[in-house]
Amino acid sequence: MKKQYIMLFILQVSTFCLYAQKADTTAILSLKNKIFAADSASFAAYQFARKKAFFSSTIPDGFNTLSIGHQFSKGGYTPLQSAGKIKDNYLTTEGKSTLAGIALWGAFSYHRIAEDSTRWAHQTRNNPSSPYYYGSAANVNYQRTVYQLNATAERNMLGNNLPIAIGIDYRIGDHYSTNDPRGTLKDYQLNLQGSLGYRLSEQLKAGLGIRYGYGEEATNVAYKNPDKVSNLEYLDFITHVISGYNTEGEKALGRDFRNDMSRFGFDAYLSYQGNNFGTLRFNGYYLEEKQEFVNRIEDAKTGEHLNDYTLKTYNFDLMWQKKMQGSNLVVTFNYLNTDGADFKYPAKANNYLYNHNLWAAKAFLNRPGKTSYNYILGLTKDGEERQDGLTGNLLGYNRLKVNAGIGFNKRLKGEQSWGVHAEGIYSISLNDRFNVPQGNETVFARMVIYNDYLYYTSNFFGGSVAADYNFPTYKKIQTGIRLGFSYMDALKFKTLDRTVISTPGNNRFSTNLSLNLYF
């Protein structure tokens, strides 16, 4: 499987390079691509269009990038099930070209991740609301390898009045911990998308689409030292079943299950383009995902099936882009709501409820020139709620975040440039819901739920700064080196009149160093 991804990656990069050479034998195209990426408004429009069906009018032809980098994060200001320290080595490439009237966009990414100090989470990180997984109080170190391939093709037919698009999204992951309890997890996800549009007028275009996907996550937990399986001297190493939002019990035997997933949904598209108004684009989708948690080793009590889980997601994106007086303005709005409900087979009833809700508005302004300036302003309201029916455990929160940023990019002689971007963020807790009956307190509640309540209901501020230097290489490629830092600091924690085993730290720091090619 890895060989296939390597071949796909080589083929994609080769195609982009060959296309760039045929389209422009000078460094003009690569310089245009770098200027495009440095324009916060244009790049925001690009991020809006990527992975969507009708992308060709938003993404410039011949825009191709490749990045190799390392990201390091450390600090205790996280949810408990996150890692205390993360190292991520990555390689990504993406771009667009047009062949025989077909617009093609593709992306490939490879991540090699090392997590230090992960607790209560033998998980792939791809299914965070899962109602069934294994965990233990001991710190484990996880190694993760994740490949992802995305591709979309768009063709305009009948005099550009009938756009058709198809897309594919394929991910494969391999995860394992290097110390007891030794989790081994493998996952793959395949998603397909087909869309058909129609041009209603010169300015207005609409379309509909369907989505279908499936995948699997397989989990196994084993021990190199059998004394740690169920020994009172090694309580932290005992593997528990987390079912719903609480521990169901110890799992001494048969620590092996898989999660079979299937998805189906619908898309809607609308775009309007007027000379004075600018460009308005709307994308929305509804997606229903079904997950079946199945015993690999059939249990006498539960049989083959452990849990069924259904996720229903509504997502709406709106973007307005306007060029005025030499400036480029992009405003985006996003609404996302996900509801989850399970069916627990041992209880023969629904036990776990999940909700995630997000509203976000962002504005990006670019003032071009020999020295171009970028301005960013954003407002986000996000919330989440988890509820366990058998125990009564409940944790819900809503937060409001405000962020603002400013940056510049200065062009130098010899097609060189350098730039700096700084951004600040402030988050305040709006409200919360909390209930853990003291008669049902478990180690999971005292470590995970209490820690996460303190984390999600805290106020914090943070900031980031990044600088990059770009120069031409091999006559046709713009090469850039980028270094960035970010920091979060907790301002205020709520008090909790409970026995809390673990509390979040006060800060978290991350840094990123990358080599970026535009060709």
Cα-Cα-Cα-Cα dihedral sign, residues 295, 301, 305, 309: negative
Is the pLDDT confidence value at 245 over 90? Answer: yes
φ, ψ dihedrals at 34, nearest 5°: -65, -40
Q: Give CA–CA dist 329/277, Å, rounded.
A: 12
In a domain, 120, yes or no: yes
Reference 30, options 497, 505, 477, 411; nearest CA is 477
DSSP summary character for residue 349: B
**Which pLDDT tens digit goes with each residue over 318-350?**
999 999 888 999 999 999 999 999 999 988 999
Structural domains in the chain (count):
1
Locate 457 and state its tokens. 């209901």
Collapsing DSSP to helix, strand or coil, 25 comes out as coil
Helices (H), 282-333: none
In a domain, 273, yes or no: yes
Going along 29-161, which residue ranges are E strands?
A: 64-74, 85-99, 102-118, 132-135, 140-157
Q: State the average pLDDT for the chain.
A: 91
Is the pLDDT confidence value at 1 over 90? Answer: no
As a whole number, mean pLDDT of residues 163-187 equals 96
User: Looking at this protein, which amino acid is placed at residue 79?
Assistant: P
Element (H, E) at 283: strand 278-299
For 117, residues 6+ apart whose C-beta sits below 8 A from its C-beta are 83, 84, 85, 139, 141
459 or 55, which is more confident: 459
Q: Give CA–CA dist 105/93, Å, rounded.
A: 11
In a domain, 192, yes or no: yes
For 125, residues 6+ apart whose C-beta sits below 8 A from its C-beta are 144
Is the pLDDT confidence value at 31 over 80? Answer: no
pLDDT band at 26 (very low <50, low <70, confident <90, very high): very low
Reference 395, options 350, 443, 309, 454; nearest CA is 454
pLDDT band at 33 (very low <50, low <70, confident <90, very high): confident
pLDDT band at 19 (very low <50, low <70, confident <90, very high): very low
For the ranges 58-62, 205-209, 258-262, the lowest mean pLDDT is seen at: 58-62
**Which pLDDT tens digit goes with each residue over 387-437?**
999 999 999 999 999 999 999 999 999 889 999 999 999 999 999 999 999
For the ranges 5-19, 56-70, 103-117, 497-511, the lowest mean pLDDT is seen at: 5-19
Q: Note whether 83 and 142 are within 8 A (CB).
A: yes
Q: Give CA–CA dist 175/125, Å, rounded.
A: 10
In a domain, 127, yes or no: yes
Q: Give CA–CA dist 330/322, Å, rounded.
A: 7
Q: Note whether 40 and 46 are within 8 A (CB).
A: no
- Could you tell me the residue range of the domain that residue 282 belongs to? 2-340+357-365+372-380
In a domain, 475, yes or no: no
In a domain, 95, yes or no: yes
In a domain, 310, yes or no: yes
Q: What is the pLDDT of residue 325?
A: 85
Q: Note whether 402 and 378 are within 8 A (CB).
A: yes
Q: What is the pLDDT of residue 170?
A: 97
Reference 70, options 107, 124, 108, 112; nearest CA is 112
Locate 119 and state its tokens. 């607790």
In a domain, 231, yes or no: yes
Is the pLDDT confidence value at 15 over 70? Answer: no
